[in-house]
Structure 1
Amino acid sequence: MLDVLSGFLVVITVIAVGFVVGRQQLLGPNAVYALNMFVFWLATPALLVNFLATADLADVFGENLAVVVLSSVLAGAVGFFGAHFLARRDVPDSLVTLLACSYCNGSNLGVPLVAHVLGDPTASLPVIIFQTAVYGPAVVLMLDVSTRRRRRREDGPGQVRSPAPRLVRELLTGVVGNPLIIAAATGVILAVVHARTGWALPAPVAEPVATLAGAAVPVALVAFGMSMAQVRVLGPSSPGRSVWAAAVVKTVVHPALAWVLARVLFDADGPALLAFVVVAALPTAQNVFTYAQRFGTNTVLARDAGVVSTLLSVPSVTVIALLLG
């Protein structure tokens, strides 16, 4: 437990350093974007390849993936039905709430957080693959259909052409061109080769990959702290109660569901149970705001839920570490 808590204290400290740097604008106005792009395109893929190349794939894609899928769907259902039937929001707005309650920040924050707190970045890999390849595209297609129906009701029939073929192409391109998916596929291939033949990456390749991988955690956490210093949320136009409800579902209900599923279905305990629950407690991903903005629906909730859930994830993961570490 002390190792987990000390690791999480380091994470909080580095985020705080990033916050101070962001407040003082020490790295310039566009530094957050540049740092995030470095992490997304170079450091995080290298981190995944570095760990996956010799990993046991059964540990990565077994019970972990099942808990990710089931807990995400259940948390999303809580968000959707709460928004649709309690808050009386229409289907597109409720779908955005569904994502805000269940779509984890598994890459930008998830990989460095679980890498440092749990010592294993592959714990967040199942959620990245599930969300990027299945969950996100499925909900985006539902958003496309429901927003077009809403516009037909508002503008009359025949006013909005279906962009579905283009949307499908963009989704497929996004999955195939995602550096995390490419890195995961590369790592899986290397892991299979290593398991069957014992072959590993030669040092001239492995060492640069490991060097880039070492930059993923500190750079991502500094960039995250800087971004927190530049965002203002919960303004007059924000649906405050809905934002807080979505953030609580994401950082409290979602990990609670993961704990129940892991205990009931797999009798998990120890480090495995901690990993399942910490991954589920990750905050709402930036992708949710991107999707909401793309379809022009519930954008303020998506933006504010991402920020508030990120703030709540700090005490949430701390408590999880205390109880399960």
Structure 2
Amino acid sequence: MATASSETRRRTLRRREYGYPVHDVLLGFTTIAAVIAVGYLLAAVKLLDAGAQTVLTRLSFFVASPCLLFVVMSETEVAGFLSKNLLATAAGVAAAAIPYVLVAVLVQRRRPDEIAIGTMCASYCNAGNLGLPVAAYVLGDAALIAPMLLLQLGLLQPIALMILDAGREGVQRSRSEAFWRAVRLPFTNPLTVATLLGLLVSVTGWRPPAFVLEPVDLIGGLAVPGVLIAYGVSLRLGPLPGRGVPPLELGFVTFLKLVVQPLGAWTAGRLLGIDDVALVALAVTAALPSAQNIFVHATRFNRATLLARDAIFVTTLGSVPAITVITLLVA
């Protein structure tokens, strides 16, 4: 039986041999857009509602996506894959985050928790939702999203939440309590756990028995279409952003996210001697839009909610042309 992850493996071999042909890139985006359009249409005719979107999102996030990541990472040669790619990914994040922090501290005089939200808008990618489909159908290898996922879920999000938690009014926590909360956080995320388990299987060379791996592989095939259909539903049902964020600030964040971050990752990858195919993947994953869970954090802590909402919307709209241009230029 050919599942979605089996198709991903075939695409991976083709990309490693031939690179990123233009028609394959356009086909990948067409495929993603078509599935998103299906979700939009299903919501428009009221076959799916907000409740169905929630179910699809939870099923994809907590079950299908971890299964896909486990299968893909368990079959990925990790020696040399994570080290250089992780460094280049971190360099891209730093290239976008540092200018925002400097401007927010020296010019805008923002609070630390507001700076945390703004920095995430400028450098924290939508790797869990849009990242997996882009990696699978545009880049041809879902494993290519792993460095970004590990960096964000294992380091960046815990640090941001620790800063937000420290700035929460009316809540007093010791430094040690805040630290251990941040340490535990990555291991409560199913994407991180599945990626680490897959890496462990790859490093040890142990293969799970077929009666375990086949169902996991089959469930993993639901991840990409489930995420995209849910995203299409959200486009139909979700509110459009309103006014409230200065255009200059929103433009600055968008520029950092869609231009500076991918350029930083590509430059670092080039300096580290990463091959051309992996360089394209680095630049594309860095050009993913701001993650939707930034708005969840901003709302929960009541900090920079308008910036989070508008940055997610604008970078999501701008990411497709940005990724297309990056792929065509670099590939």
Return the match for 2:200 from 178, 186, 189.
189
Match of 1:13 in 2: 34
Q: How does 1:252-267 map to 2 (within 5 A)?
A: 252-263=259-270, 265-267=271-273
1:315 aligns with 2:326: no
Moved more, 301-310 or 75-84: 75-84
Do the aligned residues in 1 keep the contact of 2:135 with 2:142 (CA within 8 Å)?
Answer: yes
| Distance in 1 of aligned mates of 2:275 and 2:46 | 44
1:244 aligns with 2:251: yes
1:58 match: secondary structure: coil
1:278 aligns with 2:284: yes
Deviation at 1:180, TM superposition (A): 1.1
1:157-214 C-alpha deviation (Å, 9 max, x unpaired):
xx763465554444334321211121112111211222xxxx4222211211111111
Do the aligned residues in 2 keep the contact of 1:244 with 1:308 (CA within 8 Å)?
Answer: no
1:178 aligns with 2:184: no
Do the aligned residues in 2 keep the contact of 1:60 with 1:125 (CA within 8 Å)?
Answer: no
Do the aligned residues in 1 keep the contact of 2:90 with 2:265 (CA within 8 Å)?
Answer: no
Do the aligned residues in 1 keep the contact of 2:84 with 2:274 (CA within 8 Å)?
Answer: no
1:91 aligns with 2:97: no
Aligned partner letter, 1:161 = Q
Do the aligned residues in 1 keep the contact of 2:68 with 2:217 (CA within 8 Å)?
Answer: yes
Match of 1:293 in 2: 299
Superposition misfits of 4+ residues, deviation over 6 angstroms: none
Indicate how the Cα distance of structure 1 residues 122 and 237 shifts in structure 2: closer, same or farther if over 3 A, else same.
Answer: same
Match of 2:7 in 1: none
Return the match for 1:206 from 205, 213, 218.
213
Structure 2 residue runs of 5 or longer lacking an equivalent are 1-20
Deviation at 1:144, TM superposition (A): 3.6
Q: How does 1:218-229 map to 2 (within 5 A)?
A: 218-229=225-236
| TM-score (normalizing by structure 2) | 0.86
Indicate how the Cα distance of structure 1 residues 250 and 24 shifts in structure 2: closer, same or farther if over 3 A, else same.
Answer: farther
| Distance in 1 of aligned mates of 2:79 and 2:25 | 24
Aligned partner letter, 2:73 = L
Match of 1:104 in 2: 125
| Distance in 1 of aligned mates of 2:74 and 2:62 | 18
Deviation at 1:61, TM superposition (A): 0.8
Match of 2:136 in 1: 115
The count of corresponding residues between Structure 1 and Structure 2 is 310
Do the aligned residues in 1 keep the contact of 2:241 with 2:309 (CA within 8 Å)?
Answer: no
| TM-score (normalizing by structure 1) | 0.87
Do the aligned residues in 1 keep the contact of 2:122 with 2:290 (CA within 8 Å)?
Answer: yes
Identity of aligned residues (%): 35
1:108 match: secondary structure: helix
Match of 1:28 in 2: 49
Indicate how the Cα distance of structure 1 residues 126 and 84 shifts in structure 2: closer, same or farther if over 3 A, else same.
Answer: same
| Distance in 2 of aligned mates of 1:234 and 1:251 | 19
Aligned partner letter, 2:237 = Q
